[in-house]
Chain A
């Protein structure tokens, strides 16, 4: 029986898969085994770069049966707050990091007749944790991974262990050459589709599936969160009686935490809904995948982990 206390993890090894892709393997820093990770689950790493503290989410790519290590694959993002850059350049084998226990917002449906997985770029990571679980269930599936030309062989190597007579394809020809509508229309009844990748791809898949009459409950997406940066603004926390400056490369949630206010959060990626906070005044730039279009238009709440102010000031009931 475990409470939500974070794990201390030691970096076992780091493998460069491509110039901007590295796989990190972690083991429990104090021995023992990790908890069984959820299929499609992710962990949150606390990255301490000098005085800066960043918390980034990464999907686990190791299978649920693997408890001695947790693996993640990180894409180096050029223009960013620097979390991925820190992992790529400053983290070395033997380092100990803090990791929140794995959670899942992207599970495999148990009643699906077939699973159709679509990944774009680094969005392959949660799909990699689905593969061993689908194999264990003896489930029917089909996987399509979109990649830039030079990364095609990288993804093919990652998928190779699972490609025994199954429908696994890596597409290097760009999205235009990928016949999404055709793929979705030839699926048998009872298929569930899962997509993870750039927003444009996720929108295309969910939009096309909906247009073809797929029920909402059979369409699943995992968002890695959009751009977190933006113009600086001031957040007034009415109940706490304090004001915080939200910097250009900082999230609202991070600024609130830095001020010592315990704010609710779970995924830190605009997906779980945990951080929803009432807005008293100010306009919100919604960047989450949790609120409905109506809720966003209503402007009465904000998901602090990803969304920002559209003006200079946001007054929160917090």
Chain B
């Protein structure tokens, strides 16, 4: 796998973010069927899977360098996007170990980790980092171990402590979020932080998901896909920044809809951590424009059908009403009514158009 990084692309202001054809085909398209409803859509996070995005523990793609730079900018403007409560120190080291070992194993051409007892040396070639430190001694790193490693990973991460038969979000690195705030949620329990989600509570989705997660075991990570839609390829759609990105929704027109509106998918992974018994939750965000989706016949048919029939409460919760009809008007003529195959695979290795 030789990715060509695009270090200069941007996720704000100029929005120079673009996807190569390979990058479009590896997109973890979120709909296994032509309709969508909340469910406990959790499965083992095993290597392989319907697209190349599932081949590593923590997926790295052509946007890696640019995303790490964007994270740096967000943190500079608002350091509170990374917070970890003091009792999560063991979980911080657990996370650093897991992410470093996984990246070094999955991408030996980009990352390496060597150990002499507790003395570890970490090399990150794309970001030009060479760091020696003592595992377990936070003062030997430039910042906390969790912040250190998540500044070098794509996607957001949160840390959940398990106590009293519940999970508490007691830490996180959250700069590429779909309209939720770590500063607001930190310390909350599983049902509390899921409070705003419609329909799913009544269906028992969160009760069952929590029960399952409480029993999550080391070495047996699980994953799920979540989705929403974002105007412009903007990673940081935080509530804190709503004044910056909220008005974008009004900018969608029939002429620009295909390029402007992006399907935003989160490949969410959950790992039980060994020393701390905490759960590391990875929220890896992928953005693909409606125009790019339309280049895969199965995906454009399915996106059209899902959006058309989406439960209004879910559409409202995800903030789609302002531009949903414009997207539908674009996609409807591209949906020939042919049946689609089950699962999320693109069913093609060449792009149309």
Contact = CB atoms under 8 A, between A and B. Distances in A.
Interface of A: 1-4, 35-39, 41, 64-65, 101-104, 107-111, 133, 136-137, 216-217, 266, 272-274
17 contacts: A1-B46, A1-B57, A3-B46, A35-B218, A35-B219, A36-B274, A36-B275, A38-B218, A38-B277, A39-B275, A65-B135, A102-B219, A103-B217, A103-B218, A110-B278, A111-B87, A266-B217
B161 A110 contact: yes
Interface stretch (B89-97, B121-129, B242-250, B329-337): B89-97
A217 B277 contact: no
A274 B88 contact: no
Contacts of B76: none
Given A41-B274, A110-B91, A137-B89, 12 more contacts: A2-B219, A4-B219, A36-B274, A37-B218, A65-B118, A103-B218, A107-B276, A109-B163, A110-B278, A133-B275, A136-B275, A266-B215
Interface residues of B, number: 35
Contact of A110 (B56, B88, B97, B164): B88
B45 interface: yes
Given A1-B57, A273-B215, A110 B276 contact: yes
A136 B90 contact: yes
A110 B164 CA distance: 12
Interface string B268-310: 0000101111100000000000000000000000000000000
A3 B278 CA distance: 19
- Chain B at the A interface: mostly helix, strand, loop or mixed? loop
B275 A111 contact: no
Given A36-B97, A38-B274, A107 B162 contact: yes
Contacts of B220: 2-4, 101
B215 A64 contact: no
A144 to B, nearest CB: 23
Contacts of A4: 217, 219-220
B115 to A, nearest CB: 10
Contacts of B118: 65
B90 A104 contact: no
Interface string B79-113: 00000000111110010010000100010000000
A133 B219 CA distance: 19
Nearest to B45: A1
A39 B272 CA distance: 12
Contacts of A1: 45-47, 56-57, 102, 106, 221
A110 B277 contact: yes
Given A110-B161, A111-B87, A272 B274 contact: no
In the A-B complex, the 6 residue pairs with the smallest Cβ-Cβ separation, listed nearest first, are A107-B277, A217-B164, A1-B57, A38-B274, A36-B274, A103-B217
Interface string B130-154: 0000011000000000000000000
Contacts of B161: 110-111
B274 A64 contact: yes
Given A39-B277, A110-B278, A104 B218 contact: yes
B343 interface: no
A36 B136 CA distance: 14
B189 to A, nearest CB: 12
B190 to A, nearest CB: 15
B321 interface: no
Nearest to A109: B163
Contacts of B47: 1
Contacts of A273: 215
Contact of B274 (A37, A110, A266): A37
